[in-house]
């Protein structure tokens, strides 16, 4: 394991010099999924080096704390749909139109969150047929407003690929996403063989840090990745992907990863966890998802 430290240190040089990446954004974890520490919300925007350019929060409306933050673009998400779809109603479309009317600058919207995944894991779990119908009704019309649409963000598994195929089958030519959000998982080999090697949760700290640094470098380098957000904006003791991936310690201080993500330097604050490790022991495996969401690919955005 020792060599990881050196590799991480070397890679960090690249990370720091690339720290003005306009691609980097924040994946905001809604309070219901994370015991709430109101003061944590400000860490991401007030850090002296912070240069995060955009965020999403799994919802259609902005996070209140960021509404007045200049240059921090909100990207709404059409998270999911009730069983059978929204009968007659178009709440997502209405919400976006209302925000546009009020002067919001919405340039991109994200489609369904892990529609092929299990509801218990925080995934939307909607049948491809329902998703196709809702996409046509509530997302496609947003193209008239010049908004770019992100395809449904499936889990990085064979089920995800199959779900997407079904989705486009049911769309029958009426769904035209502009870019493809990608969730990286330990098992997702299609995106890049490198990620499978590094992108596991519940790893020791040097391994996790190494994976982080290398992934960021790849995301910054690859021109077909136009934006990305790291899944880690929470405290280590409430992480469902292992304490070491978290950007905050259990006390709310920036970990090394948290600081690097904001363009800062190593803090030597160690992430600890009791909750996550207990849960791990109990359930044996928790969802493997770690590395990050998103993005890019069908066209530049």
- Contacts with ligand NAG by CB under 6 A lie at 73, 105, 107, 172-173, 222, 224, 297
Q: Looking at the DSSP assignment, which residues form a beta bridge with residue 74?
A: 55
Which residue in this structure is represented by tokens 């965020």? 55
Nearer to ligand NAG, 220 or 256 (CB): 220
CB of 26 to ligand NAG, least distance (A): 14
CB of 73 to ligand NAG, least distance (A): 5
Nearer to ligand NAG, 175 or 213 (CB): 175
CB of 192 to ligand NAG, least distance (A): 7
Nearer to ligand NAG, 222 or 275 (CB): 222
CB of 105 to ligand NAG, least distance (A): 4
Nearer to ligand NAG, 148 or 202 (CB): 148
Nearer to ligand NAG, 74 or 212 (CB): 74
CB of 297 to ligand NAG, least distance (A): 5
CB of 191 to ligand NAG, least distance (A): 7
Nearer to ligand NAG, 20 or 224 (CB): 224
Nearer to ligand NAG, 234 or 291 (CB): 291
Burial class (CB in 10 A: 0-12, 13-18, 19+), 41: middle
CB of 170 to ligand NAG, least distance (A): 8
């Amino acid at each position: 394991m020792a060599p990881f430290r050196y590799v991480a240190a070397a890679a960090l040089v690249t990370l720091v010099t690339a720290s003005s990446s306009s691609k980097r954004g924040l994946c905001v974890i809604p309070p219901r999924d994370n015991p709430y520490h109101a003061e944590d919300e400000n860490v991401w925007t007030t850090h002296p080096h912070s240069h995060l350019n955009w965020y999403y929060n799994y919802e259609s409306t902005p996070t209140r704390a960021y509404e007045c933050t200049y240059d921090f673009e909100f990207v709404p998400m059409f998270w999911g749909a009730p069983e059978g779809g929204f009968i007659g109603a178009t709440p997502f479309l209405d919400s976006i139109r209302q925000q546009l009317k009020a002067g919001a600058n919405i340039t991109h919207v994200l489609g369904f969150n892990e529609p092929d995944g299990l509801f218990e894991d925080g995934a939307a779990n909607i049948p491809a047929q329902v998703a196709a119908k809702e996409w046509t009704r509530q997302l496609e019309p947003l193209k008239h407003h010049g908004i770019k649409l992100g395809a449904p963000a499936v889990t990085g598994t064979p089920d995800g690929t199959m779900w997407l195929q079904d989705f486009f089958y049911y769309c029958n030519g009426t769904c035209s996403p502009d870019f493809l959000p990608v969730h990286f998982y330990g098992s997702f080999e299609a995106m890049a063989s490198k990620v499978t090697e590094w992108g596991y949760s519940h790893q020791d700290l040097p391994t996790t840090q190494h994976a982080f640094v290398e992934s960021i470098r790849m995301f910054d380098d690859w021109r077909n990745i136009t934006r990305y957000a790291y899944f880690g904006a929470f405290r280590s003791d409430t992480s469902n992907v292992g304490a070491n991936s978290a950007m905050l310690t259990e006390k709310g201080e920036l970990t090394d990863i948290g600081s690097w993500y904001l363009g800062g330097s190593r803090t030597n604050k160690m992430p600890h966890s009791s909750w996550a490790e207990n849960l791990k022991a109990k359930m044996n495996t928790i969802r493997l998802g770690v590395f990050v969401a998103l993005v890019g690919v069908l066209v530049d955005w």
